[in-house]
Amino acid sequence: MRYTEALSTHSSQAANKTLRNTYGLLSLTLLFSAFTAGMSMAFNLPHPGLIITLVGFYGLLFLTHKCQNSALGILCVFALTGFMGLTLGPILSAYLSLSNGASLIMSALGITGLSFLGLSAYALVSKKDFSFLNGFITVGFFVLLFAVIAGIFVKMPALQIFISAGFALFSAAVILLQTSQIVRGGETNYIMATVNLYVSLYNMFLSVLSLLGMARDE
């Protein structure tokens, strides 16, 4: 009995440590990403384009995965999030050129922040096992992938709304699953947990911003 209690206490302490490290690193990477986005806007840098963005993202993601168990992994996380910030800058600049662009960006930030806090709090307090979302996330990934490819060739407002709303829901599911895994001890690597949460926040923010922008145009 004592052994079981001791093991449970140790697991709980390990989960809390992973959670603290994840949120600490996530906060720093968000600030760094905001800084690089600001620099991109200040120097009016052009968007690198879809191909360079994908190559840069998946290349840095691969390096981060390879170095996740070393201090070098932290540098890779900052390189990845800094690069994503650079790609975000031109998008924000485009929205700021609109008459109500600033309010759209602030609204998207607010909705994303509140959604993240709400989803995280629910997963932390309930301690539910959200592993059932794995199937939804896997199917959702391929559905969104095909939808994005279709969106390149077919310019339909309804399809763009579907893609943006789909990415928002997909990101929410990943946040729930990742936070649940940390709390329940299924995720012990705070570097990869940080990357998963950061990418989810990045996608959710852009999705909400896109939906607000399309609502403005109607």
- Gyration radius of the chain over CA positions: 18
Among 75-84, 122-131, 164-173, which stretch is predicted with the lowest mean pLDDT?
122-131
pLDDT tens for each residue of 180-198: 999 988 888 999 999 999 9
pLDDT bucket at 218, cuts 50 / 70 / 90: low
Q: Which domain holds residue 87?
A: 2-217
The angle subtended at Cα 116 by Cα 113 and Cα 120, nearest 5°, is 145
Sign of CA dihedral 81, 84, 86, 88: negative
pTM, two decimals, is: 0.92
- Please give the tally of structural domains in the chain: 1
> Is 36's pLDDT higher than 90?
yes
Count of Cβ atoms closer than 10 Å to residue 50 Cβ: 11
